[in-house]
Structure 1
Amino acid sequence: MSVVSSQTEAAASAQSYGQGLAIVGIGGLVLSFDIPLIRMSESAFWTVLAVRGLLTGLAVLLIWQVDRIRNPRGQKLIAGWTGLLIVAIFSMAATTFVFAVFNTSAANVVFILAFNPMFAAILSRWLIGESPPLATVLAIPATLFGVLLIIGAGFETGNWTGDLSALATAFLIALALTLSRRSRTDMRYTAALGGLLPALIALPFVAGEGLHSEAIIWLILNGGVLIPVAMICLAIGPMFVPAPVVSMAFLIETVLAPVWVWLIFGERPVDLAMAGGGVVIATLVVHSVAELRRVRGQRRRLAEQSGGV
């Protein structure tokens, strides 16, 4: 292979990596406004479930339909019985997430949701037989300690139901992603479709009570634009960058969402919850960096072996 050809491939790879970083960065940044927009709408629980879930589902259905027009043999909306199961799990996750937003602080929600990769590692071991890397094994007890600090603070402030609901959300998302990985099928639309079932359940309550929202435009922006854009960005990201980099994009939400809520509403978590959140964030940053180095090392060794051949 010529030097010019090698340089061209390296430049193309660097450009692709840069595009991937931009995509996942945008996804994480957009997602960080999810909870603030729900709070800004000042909406009732059933209104949030109905409007947010319905708009997100319809937006993704529209995107899927456009994709099918361009490529009739393209991605299925729901891939078999496994796809239906994953949609059902995401439906439960959408419900527990909104319940958590209504019953604990925004910081507690995102800090606890950050435990999701650790749940995924444990479930992957049980359901797929994948042995997690050493960095993940070491990160699990550290992040669990941080989550327990947050939940402990919730018992002091009376927010424990919301904290446990956030923990259930993290588990359900990890379970859905693990089942998706085991099926080895593209499930890019299932997460957004998971909002449709809770929305349909909420509709009778909304029909009876009416929409209760002081500023429903924020809820429409959230469900119709923000969530679909974030999900698409974070679904496309792994095509360009390693999974640890995508995981770090979720850290953008973990860090920024409490900041936006603090700036807009003056909501500050109690010290114990802040300490737990700090433990979770620090652990996940170290874990993501370690995983990124491991993936790069594997690629380097493969490249050297290929070059040797």
Structure 2
Amino acid sequence: MAAPSLDAVETNAAARYATGLTLVGFGGIVLSGDIPLIRLSESGFYTVVLVRGALSSLAAVFLWWLARRLGRASGPLIAGRLGLFVTGLYAVATLTFLVAVYETKAANVVFILALNPIFAALLSWAIAGEKPSRATLLAIPATLFGVLLIIGAGLEAGHWIGDLAALATAFLIALALTLARRSRQDMRYASALAAIVPALIALPFVVTGGGIESEAVGWLVVNGAILMPLALICLAAGPMFVPSPVVSMGYLLETVLAPIWMWLIFLERPSNLSLLGGGVIIATLGIHAFVELKPKHRILGAGPKMTKR
């Protein structure tokens, strides 16, 4: 059986990269609706953690089961020991994120979590042997600059425990993405499945606190059953197609777009620095995608070369 031609290999690689960017971009955009839907539901904190986490994990299991029934599943729900470890990383990251939210200022959390792309680039280089492209290396500080503009001069020092927890969250997510990328296995359900851990932790607080606390629980159900699993599955599937630093930059889309949705829905206008920072991040991600895909689109457009008879 003849080996595939170089053109066929390059064309397939280009298509996979384009698929990965599409998944990451779509996942980041969908994830940006998380905060607005939580606000619309007018729910208590532990209610949000319980309902969103439980529904997200159940939705992931259902989608995996449905894919298997339709003959489209490419692997088990959890891909062996490494898949279980990656799922555990996502679960711990969720818990450290909650600690960070409680123990330090929100501005500190956002800024420290923006270190995710840097961690992903370094870990991808050290663990997976993938040296970041020049475009990615240039995009990382540009996106960090955009986040810094969003925070502006309002960055305040918080408690060191919360700051360390936020730092751990950024590192754990980057590590999970990198290990998933290195394994080349299908771990798209890992992040959504991990949401069951904080849900179980929140359960006793909801039970002892008088039950579900929500004025419009329907929005919370839409968020947990549809929005969150869709976003998390797309983002977790990204490492199968593109390097983990590229996937990690997709998470920054929530930082940019969520304030815009809040402005449109609740008339909470972002500051001028927030708008400027959001513009910097969107422009950077757009230019990065264009630069990375330009040579690949040329390959796709050219198609396989015809050999002379």
TM-score bracket for this pair, using the shorter chain length: 0.7 to 0.9
Q: Compute the displacement of 1:303 (Å).
A: 4.5
Q: Compute the displacement of 1:188 (Å).
A: 1.2
How does 1:288-299 map onto structure 2 within 5 Å? 288-296=289-297
Q: Compute the displacement of 1:139 (Å).
A: 2.1
Aligned residue type for 1:264: I
Q: Kindly indicate which of the two structures has a greater share of residues assigned to helix.
A: 1
Separation (CA, whole Å) in 2 of partners of 1:176 and 1:237: 12
Separation (CA, whole Å) in 2 of partners of 1:180 and 1:242: 10
Q: Cα gap change, 1:34/1:96 in structure 2, threshold over 3 Å: closer, same or farther?
A: farther
8 A contact 2:189–2:236 mirrored in 1? no
8 A contact 2:149–2:273 mirrored in 1? yes
Percent of aligned pairs with the same residue?
A: 59
| 1:213 match | 214
Separation (CA, whole Å) in 1 of partners of 2:302 and 2:244: 18
Aligned residue type for 2:133: P
What SS class does the counterpart of residue 155 from structure 2 fall into? Answer: helix
Aligned residue type for 1:143: T
8 A contact 1:93–1:172 mirrored in 2? yes
| 1:51 match | 51
Q: Compute the displacement of 1:278 (Å).
A: 3.5
Aligned residue type for 1:285: G
Separation (CA, whole Å) in 2 of partners of 1:203 and 1:173: 24
For structure 2, the 5+ residue unaligned runs are: 1-14
For structure 1, the 5+ residue unaligned runs are: 1-14
Aligned residue type for 1:129: G
Q: Cα gap change, 1:236/1:223 in structure 2, threshold over 3 Å: closer, same or farther?
A: same
Q: Compute the displacement of 1:33 (Å).
A: 1.7
8 A contact 2:186–2:237 mirrored in 1? no
8 A contact 2:32–2:253 mirrored in 1? yes
Q: Compute the displacement of 1:95 (Å).
A: 3.9
For the aligned residue pairs, the C-alpha RMSD in angstroms reads 4.5
Aligned residue type for 2:218: I
The answer to which of 181-190 and 276-285 deviates more is 276-285
Separation (CA, whole Å) in 1 of partners of 2:238 and 2:155: 37
How does 1:73-92 map onto structure 2 within 5 Å? 74-92=74-92
Separation (CA, whole Å) in 1 of partners of 2:206 and 2:258: 28
Q: TM-score, normalised by structure 2?
A: 0.73
8 A contact 2:108–2:155 mirrored in 1? no
| 2:260 match | 259
Separation (CA, whole Å) in 2 of partners of 1:228 and 1:64: 11
Q: Cα gap change, 1:249/1:175 in structure 2, threshold over 3 Å: closer, same or farther?
A: closer
Q: TM-score, normalised by structure 1?
A: 0.73
Q: Cα gap change, 1:256/1:37 in structure 2, threshold over 3 Å: closer, same or farther?
A: same
Separation (CA, whole Å) in 2 of partners of 1:24 and 1:221: 21
Q: Compute the displacement of 1:200 (Å).
A: 0.8
Separation (CA, whole Å) in 2 of partners of 1:122 and 1:17: 20
How does 1:142-181 map onto structure 2 within 5 Å? 142-151=142-151, 153-156=153-156, 169-181=169-181
